[in-house]
Amino acid sequence: MAQKFGGQFSPNGGNATPSKASPLSGKRPARGRTRANLLFLVALPILFTSIGDGAQDMAVAIGAFALMTLGAWLTREGIDAQNAYEARTIARRPAIPRKLFGAIALGLGVGVATFDTSLMDGILYGIIAVALHLTSFGFDPMRDKALEGVDTFQTDRVARAVDEAERHLRAMSDAIAISGDRTMIARVDQFQATARAFFRTVENDPRDLTTARRYLGVYLLGAKDATIKFSKLYAQGRDPSVKADYTSLLDDLEANFTAKNQALLSDNRTDLDIEIDVLRDRLQREGIRLTEGE
């Protein structure tokens, strides 16, 4: 378990306590998710209108419904993956182009549902459905996202580390949901907002990864395991002492993440000041005079 942090950024230490991150900090609206959910409703009429048309027609309708439902699910998963990709400074492209596969599954479902008139009609309707889907939802990200001037090796290291950290946070969310305590769910969301602010700092300067790796791995793994244990214990008896211990742990972890984030930001600012001073000296040696405000 993490030890109580007593430095400047501890909740009880120092005069200035940094404001806690909002659970919504760094999050963007889930664009396109509502439209993707509507795709599930589009397939329902095909299923219900086939009732009473015979076993063969019903089998075809069920197949079309399954394909269209699969397409809707893949599309929604693809939108979630793209939103996560766009929220990060450094990210690897999704391994599976879910939106593209969703468009193909939807097109196949439409084709199967409409080929009863003629095979050509089914093919054409399926192609139209794929085209409309891609026009509405777009394509999946097809390239890795990286900072300019940062080599691929460093980018890949940071992306892998943040991916692992995000898996721990998702596992925490799944585990705390079992407790059914809305207060603790909100508290975990707040801690995750602080952790994600730390992620963005590391992504903005991949050189910080060496000193931040323990926070991205060991500490979040411990937080995940503690959350799983808390949810199981708290769901059994709603023991206030268990809740208090877990809350204290989150406070300690959040204070440590905040302090480390501030330290990294301060180091980055120091590096920038040094680079500016070096640039000033170089320009002055070249005979270029700078005004005081430059």
User: pLDDT tens digits for 200-259?
Assistant: 888 888 777 888 888 888 889 989 999 999 998 888 888 888 899 999 999 999 998 998
Q: What is the pLDDT of residue 5?
A: 43
Cα–Cα distance for residue pair 242/176, rounded to 1 Å:
13
Q: What is the pLDDT of residue 30?
A: 56
Cα–Cα distance for residue pair 240/229, rounded to 1 Å:
15
- Read off the pLDDT band of 108 (50, 70, 90): very high
Q: Are residues 280 and 167 in the same domain?
A: yes
Q: What angle do CA 212, 26, 143 make, to 5 degrees?
A: 75
pLDDT digits (tens, 9 = 90+) for 150-167: 667 777 888 888 889 999
Residue 22 lies in a domain: no
Tokens of 191: 């801690």
Tokens of 269: 């600012």
- Read off the pLDDT band of 284 (50, 70, 90): low
Domain, as residue range, for 87: 33-137
Cα–Cα distance for residue pair 128/149, rounded to 1 Å:
42
Residue 280 lies in a domain: yes
Residue 50 lies in a domain: yes
Residue 8 lies in a domain: no
Domain-ending residue, one of 76, 108, 137: 137
Per-residue pLDDT for 136 more than 50?
Answer: yes
pLDDT digits (tens, 9 = 90+) for 24-71: 554 555 567 788 888 888 888 887 777 767 778 888 888 999 999 999
Residue 25 lies in a domain: no
Query: Do 90 and 159 touch, CB atoms closer than 8 A?
Result: yes
The closest of 189, 289, 120, 172 to 197, measured between CA atoms, is 189
Q: Are residues 280 and 222 in the same domain?
A: yes
Cα–Cα distance for residue pair 278/222, rounded to 1 Å:
42
Per-residue pLDDT for 95 more than 80?
Answer: yes
Cα–Cα distance for residue pair 136/35, rounded to 1 Å:
9
The phi, psi pair for 76, rounded to 5°, reads -65, -40
Q: Are residues 127 and 183 in the same domain?
A: no
Tokens of 287: 């005979």
Q: What's the number of domains the chain is made of?
A: 2
Q: Are residues 169 and 72 in the same domain?
A: no
